[in-house]
Amino acid sequence: MKKYLWNFPEERRIFGVTEFPTRVSIPNWDVIRRPPSIKAGPLSIPPPPRPAMVANLSVKVIGDYNEKGLCSAPSDSKAPVTLSYSSIKKHIEKIAPIEDPAIVKWMQFSATDGLICEMTEEEYKRAGSNLASTSGDPYIPGCKLDDIRFKSEKGSTVAGRGNAVLVTPHGNIDVPVPGKATGIFEDLLCFAAVTGAWVKQWTGVLLKWKNLTKNPSSRIRFPSFSGLVAPQFIGHEADVAFPTNYVVMHVSTDKPQTMKVKYRETSDYTQEITSLDVDLKKGKNEVSYTLLILPYVPTMVVELIPEDKTSTILDDYSVSVP
Amino acid sequence: MEGIWNFPLERRNREGKLYFPTRALLPPWTTREAQAEGERRLEIGEIRISLVSSKFDIEELKLSRSSLFPHLPVALDSLDIQSTIEHEAPVDNVEIVEWMHDSAADNAILTARIEEYNKYSRIAGKCGDGYVPGVRVSDIYFAKTDGYTVARERKGTLVTPRGRVTIPLGGGNTFIASDLLAWGGIRSTSGIQYSCQALKWEQLAATPITSSIAFPSYAGIAAPNFFLQKPDKEGKRVRVSLTIASDKSQSMPISYRSPSDYTKVIDSTTLSLDKGVSEISFVVASYPSVPAVVLYAAPVSGTKTVLREYRAEVIE
């Protein structure tokens, strides 16, 4: 049986604040080849760059776009299982109409975001790991997830300034209103979106990757909140240490787009090893390429970034050693 | 951080779905056999309770502020701060409706308590409307029942990967499975909506606990708490000392539970606490050594209760 070690501890203290890092497990064959750790927290020395390149990129359409096999939301089994924001919102409008005195407009947006979050969590969980998410109004009742949160401010304040503030243990990030931002820190991966703002209220979405799934073999959506598409983070793991890895992934998209793929160090997520742009056509795309990294291809974090206003699904991701 | 986790990070339930158990980091000397034997032979000596101060002063308790609403004063119950929130964001029936005040005040209390607990470990929670937008924490959530049904049936349902638990309207209920600890409360209904709170213990805070951890209180509905009592070293006799502050006299049930199966109660009793700060001390003995155990403490609703200190030190 393979042995694994986590890249980060379950919790850390940063300037007196408890932080729960995003973790990925690293196989023993990779751990023993890594240089002795020189990292000691936020002021650490980054790992040395690895010579890397991508070759033989191929993209083929092998089928139509479909949404089969996506997960439903456990809290609402009647909600449509789809990436279509408008379909899910229609369902919410039906079960919680604005005519009811206890329902106001932002709640319908927030509930729609919440169902999308829940379906995404289920798909990520099915792939064997843990992505946490929440949605809500950051002014009141407030929007917080684990150790990240939106600063509680009025809708008119964030809309007037043009940005909301995402507070993380590593510092604050500005999130455009409306808009999105991805938080990539040494040991933390998160995402925030602001989907709407009114006078007092506004709607926000938070995602935090707790533990990364590796080489997923089941479908995971790129959640889309009013057209703002979140990235996905997964782990890349080979069976043995070798300078080349052959990657095959299937990605379904409802329209042509260019998806960015970035490979990041597991010892410091801010360190990019290599990246590529993949031109996808409408339908199910088979994307394959060879990764060459010296002295060997390590376990890495893969960031997949689709374009906004697309419906995109990662069907699977596999790694083989030639 | 050395030790042995009692449960893996993730498990699959009967339906094959992945879930995340409540974990505790047991002492490194723990073995399955010694733990079972230690639990079986566990004996608790006379419990001494002494009132060290009859004063209950929130300033002296050094509690955390809400990270979500840092401008709000330190508080122990959501009703203490609700009027401030109502004043800042009055109901306009366009963007702000009544239940949001309840939930904002509950969230302020919840996030402050999370700050306190997470100095030692990890608890997650959320307060909001159980119908729309819905209340979900990790792998637990409130069933999407509308407020009218909750009001009519006088109850709602908290769903966990290990089963469901009924939550009474105007009260709370604790869900205890062999490897999962959660709590839900329902404060009120407002038409189609209802205000509820969900807590999930992800990892248990272990002794020594040296700073205040208050028990959350949502409009008088008090939530319990779980801690891991972990002796500082291997030994046959351990002196346990707790310091608890309470704003009024109460009889607080406590129980020791097995970290290998949270449903297994090793022993239980009720602590009679007077208003003020009380020190509770007793000796726990076992063989081959005193094992780590889970302490469940449930203050009475309507009280404000704070655990100020909790230690388990080997004396032999």
The pLDDT value recorded for residue A289 is 98
Write out chain A residues lying below 8 Å of B143, CB-based.
75
| Same domain as B218, residue B114 | no
Q: Average the pLDDT over each of A1-10, A16-25, B40-49 and give the range with the smallest value.
A: A1-10
3-state SS track over chain A: CCCEEECCCCCEEECCEEECCCECEEEHHHHCCCCCCCCCCCCCCCCCCCCEEEEEEEEEEEECCCCCCCCCECCECCCCCCCCHHHHHHHHHHHCCCCCCCCCHHHHHHHHHHHHHHHHHHHHHHCCCEEEEEEECCCCCCCEECCEEECCCCHHHHHHHCEEEEEECCEEEEEECCEEEEEECCCCEEEEEEEEECCCCEEEEEEEEEECCECCCCCEECCEECCEECCEEEEECCCCCCCEEEEEEEEEECCCEEEEEEEEECCCCCCEEEEEEEEECCEEEEEEEEEEECCCCCCEEEEEECCCCCCEEEEEEEEECC
Confidence of residue A36 (pLDDT cuts 50, 70, 90): low
B145 and B240 inside one domain: no
CB contact under 8 A, B133 and A149: no
| pLDDT mean across residues, chain A | 93
Better-predicted residue by pLDDT, A14 or B74: B74
Instruction: Read off the tokens for B251.
Output: 């009889």
Residues 6+ apart with CB under 8 A from A269: A22, A184, A185, A186, A187, A188, A189, A301
Q: Express each pLDDT in A263-273 by its tens digit.
A: 999 999 999 99
Percent share of chain A, pLDDT over 70 = 96
- Measure CB to CB from residue A134 to each of B101, B106, B126 and give the nearest one: B126
Q: How many percent of chain A have pLDDT more than 90?
A: 84
**B159: in domain:** yes
Pairing, β A220-221 against β A224-225: unpaired
Shortest Cα–Cα distance, B52 to chain A (Å)? 31
Cβ–Cβ gap A128/B18 under 8 Å:
yes
Cα A68 to chain centroid distance, Å, stands at: 21
* End-of-domain residue from the set B150, B185, B203: B203
Q: Which residues of A touch B85 (CB under 8 A)?
A: 140
Chain mean position to CA B287: 29
With both helix axes pointing from N to C terminus, report the angle between A85-95 and A105-126 in degrees, rounded to the nearest 10. 120
**B132 vs A136: CB contact, 8 Å cut-off?**
no
**What is the token pair recorded at A23?**
């973790």
How many of the other CB atoms lie within 10 Å of CB of A42? 15
| Residue B264, token pair as written in the block | 């297994």
Question: Is the model more confident about A11 or about B150?
Answer: B150
Asked if residue B69 is part of any domain, the answer here is: no
Question: What's the gap between Cα B206 and its chain centre?
Answer: 13
Rounded Cα gap, residues A4 and B103, in angstroms = 42
Domain extent, residue B221, equals: 4-11+24-56+205-314
Three-state DSSP at B38 gives helix
Query: Which chain B residue has the Cα nearest residue A14?
Result: B119
Q: CA-to-CA distance for B49 and B275, rounded, in angstroms?
A: 12
Contact of A203 with chain B, judged by CB distance below 8 Å, is answered with: no
Distance CA B16, CA B299 (A): 36
> Span A308-313, mean pLDDT?
98
Q: Which residue is closest to B114 within chain A, CA to CA?
A: A146
| B61 within a domain of the structure (yes/no) | no
Last residue of a domain, one of B203, B238, B257: B203
Confidence at residue A100, expressed as pLDDT on a 0 to 100 scale: 84
pLDDT at A49: 79
- pLDDT value of residue A42: 47
Statement to judge: residues B176 and B236 lie in one domain: no
Provide CB contacts within 8 A for B38, sequence distance 6+: B286, B287, B288, B289, B290, B291
Tell me whether residue B72 is in a domain: no
Q: Is A281 on the interface with B (CB under 8 A)?
A: no
Residues B164, B95 share a domain: yes
CA B8 to each of CA A65, A124, B98, B179, B259: distance values in angstroms, whole numbers, following the listed order? 37, 18, 42, 10, 13
pLDDT of residue A40: 44
Helix (H) or strand (E) holding B219: none
Helix, strand, coil percentages (3-state) for chain B, rounded to 5, are 15, 45, 40
CB A276 within 8 A of CB A303: no
Question: Does some domain include residue B307?
Answer: yes
Q: How far is CA A269 from the centre of its chain?
A: 13
Rounded to whole angstroms, the Cα distance separating A30 from A321 reads 14
B118 membership: H or E segment, kind and range = none
Q: What does the alpha-carbon distance between residue A320 and residue A302 come to, in Å, rounded to a whole number?
A: 16
Residues B244, B198 share a domain: no
- Tens-digit pLDDT profile for residues B151-209: 999 999 999 999 999 999 999 999 999 999 999 999 999 889 999 999 999 999 999 99
Q: Is the pLDDT of residue A44 over 60?
A: no
The tens digit of pLDDT for each residue in B102-128 reads 999 999 999 999 999 999 999 999 999
Side chain identity, residue A245: N
Please count the structural domains in chain B.
2
Q: Three-class SS of residue B220?
A: coil
Phi, psi of B105, deg, nearest 5: -65, -40
Q: Report the relative pairing of strands B276-285 and B193-203 from DSSP bridges.
A: unpaired
CATH number at residue B47: 2.60.120
**pLDDT 10s digits, A51-102:** 899 999 999 999 999 999 999 999 998 999 999 999 999 999 999 998 888 8
Question: In the prediction, which pLDDT does A31 show?
Answer: 86
List of chain A residues whose C-beta atoms are within 8 Å of the C-beta of residue B131: 96
CA distance A103 to chain B (A): 8
Nearest to A226, CA basis, from A106, A75, A121: A106
**Contact between chains at B68 and A211 (C-beta distance less than 8 A):** no
**Chain B environment of A147 (Cβ under 8 Å):** 118
| Residue A23 banded pLDDT, cuts 50, 70, 90 | very high
Nearest to A129 by CA among A184, A192, A208: A208
Please give the pLDDT value at position A34: 79
B184 and B213 belong to one structural domain: no
Task: Give the length of chain B.
Answer: 316
- Is residue B148 within 8 A of residue B211, CB to CB? The reply is no
- Helices (H) and strands (E) counted in chain B, each on its own, are 4, 25
**Predicted confidence (pLDDT) per residue in B241-260, tens digit:** 999 999 999 999 999 999 99
Residue A99 class from Cβ within 10 Å (0-12 exposed, 13-18 middle, 19+ buried)?
Answer: exposed
Instruction: Single out the residue of A10, A220, A74 nearest to residue B8, CA to CA.
Output: A10
Q: Are residues B211 and B99 in the same domain?
A: no
| Cα–Cα distance measured from residue B198 to residue A28, given in angstroms and rounded to the nearest whole number | 38
**Number of neighbours of residue A270 by Cβ within 10 angstroms:** 12
Residue in A76, A128, A200 closest to B96 by CB: A200
Shared-domain flag, residues B196 and B257: no
pLDDT of residue A18: 81
Phi, psi of B299 (to 5 degrees): -65, 160
Is 60 exceeded by the pLDDT of residue A45? no
Count of beta carbons in the 10 Å neighbourhood of residue A29: 15
Whether residues B199 and B210 share a domain: the answer is no
Q: For residue B299, which of B71, B26, B76, B31 has the smallest C-alpha distance?
A: B76
Amino acid B1: pLDDT: 57
Task: Tell me the mean pLDDT in the region A23-29.
Answer: 94
A11: which chain B residues are within 8 Å (Cβ-Cβ)?
121-122
Each residue's pLDDT tens digit, A132-182: 999 999 998 899 999 999 999 999 999 999 999 999 999 999 999 999 999
Cα-Cα-Cα-Cα dihedral sign, residues B85, B88, B93, B95: negative
Strands A312-320 and A244-253: antiparallel
Predicted pLDDT of residue A41: 47
pLDDT tens sequence across B215-239: 999 999 999 999 999 999 999 999 9
Same domain, B43 and B132: no
Answer whether A116 touches B (CB < 8 Å): no
